[in-house]
Amino acid sequence: MEFRISTADDRELVESLWDYCFEHREDPFFQWYFQHFYKPENVLMGFQKGQMACVTHLNPYTISLRGRALPTSYIVGLATHPAARRGGIGGKLLTAALREMKRRGHYLNILMPSKAGFYQPYGYELYCHQWKETMPLEALRPLTDRTVRYAFVNSPDQWPYLAAVYDGYTKHLSGYALRDEASWRSHIEAQLAEGNIAVCFDGDQPIGYAFYNLGEPTIISGEFVYTCRKGKRGLLGYMYNHRSQGEAFQWNEGIHDQSYRFYPDGKQGHETMPFMTGRIVDVKGALEELPYKADGSVTFRTEDPLADWNTGTFTLSVNDGKGAVTSAADADAQVSMPIGTLALLAFGAMDVDELVFNEKIQGSDKALETLQTLFPTEKNWINEWY
């Protein structure tokens, strides 16, 4: 197979496969994405016998991981033409994508899976879940706050209101996307193309906002963010006011939020949603980018089914919070783990004891203790959809 970055002349091919596999051309999101967000230089195409066989979009983002801003590529729109399926093309496309991301200096990669089990054998592990809450609108009444006021966002120029809330919500979190003015304008334009945005205020201070769509019995919010309990109760009160326009309300929120313990009926409508996977693109680059709160050294072996440059034995040495990675002899390995486990450690999704219990890592007690010190768990959250 041959892989290359697309050009402006490939737009029709890229659009046609997206239309076939995802949203159709007449869909508002399709129109917004290809008119305002799509850039051919961020699309990787695969050809077999001169015909396009697969495509994926490598959308650039900056994420905050362990308090440090890191460049990343977000894989979306990964699709294989039906005539080319069942031939291992998906794995070849992912390998080509990893090579391109490494070239760009994006040493960590994120991907929202339609089915996590498809990507896990390729080294992608879930680093972020969300709660998906669904409640009848009538049931929201005791969870509301009537002392707030509301306003619509109807222009990208109002992005500072949302940014203030978002920054407050993510203050103690990790794994989330950093949003600047340009990205906020893009998010707002995308939502207004197919739905609404409401902000709630405590006096003049914005304390919550929701992206939501009307028209179905269940009102669905694609982004539901608040700075405090009052902000959340204010948003739920806003949705409660839509009882004549819907029957239920569904929203996603960070799995770190434990408000569900105080809902009138926590047994109903409360479930986890696997949201985002993370992957190591390049072991050396990724581990040397991360910040560390403790010093130490550990030698580990990892295997990567897609990226041969990641298969081997490495020594991570951290001094004064800065990591350095060097190659080592296999005989010196104190720990062994697949590349996906290393991603879980890097993102802080699981601690070492949990990984040992799930047979995702093995090694000497001392080396495992060092890993736990170097990679403490984090409260991860992200809500980018494309």
Angle CA 200–144–229, to nearest 5: 65
**What was the pLDDT predicted at 38?**
96
According to the model, what pLDDT value does residue 230 have? 97
Give span(s): CATH 3.30.1050.10, the chain: 281-374
Global pTM reads 0.94
pLDDT surpasses 80 at 212: yes
CA 224 to chain centre: 15
Look at residue 68 in the predicted model and tell me its pLDDT.
Answer: 98
Kindly report, as residue ranges, where domains of CATH 3.40.630.30 are found in the chain: 2-106, 130-274
Distance between CA atoms of residues 19 and 64, nearest Å: 32
Q: What pLDDT is stored for residue 277 in this prediction?
A: 98
Read off the pLDDT of residues 138-170 as tens digits, 9 standing for 90 and up. Answer: 999 999 999 999 999 999 999 999 999 999 999
Instruction: Give me the pLDDT at residue 87, please.
Output: 74
List, in sequence order, every residue forming a beta bridge with 46; answer none if it has no partner: 3, 54
Q: What is the pLDDT of residues 48-103, one digit of tens each?
A: 888 999 999 999 999 999 999 999 999 999 999 887 787 788 899 999 999 999 99
Reported in sequence order, the residue ranges of 137-236 that DSSP labels E, i.e. its strands, are: 149-152, 176-177, 196-202, 205-213, 218-226
- CATH homologous superfamily for 2-106? Gcn5-related N-acetyltransferase (GNAT) (3.40.630.30)
DSSP code, position 173: -
The Cβ-side half-sphere exposure at 34, using a 13 Å CA radius, reads 21
Per DSSP, the residues of 311-346 read -EEEEEEEETTEEEEEE--GGG-SEEEEHHHHHHHH
Cβ neighbours, 10 Å, residue 164: 16
Please report the sign of the dihedral spanned by the C-alpha atoms of residue 114, residue 115, residue 116, residue 122. Answer: negative
Fold of the domain spanning 281-374: Nonspecific Lipid-transfer Protein; Chain A (3.30.1050)
Fold of the domain built from segment(s) 130-274: Aminopeptidase (3.40.630)
As a whole number, mean pLDDT of residues 291-299 equals: 97
**Which residue did the predictor score with more confidence, 362 or 114?**
362
Mean pLDDT score, 133-139:
96
Other C-beta atoms closer than 10 Å to the C-beta of 336 total 15
**Averaged pLDDT for residues 349-378:** 98
State the DSSP code for 264. T
Write out the H or E segment, with its range, that includes residue 385. none
Torsion of CA 215, 164, 140, 271, to 10 degrees: 80
**Residue 265: pLDDT above 80?**
no
pLDDT band at 21 (very low <50, low <70, confident <90, very high): very high
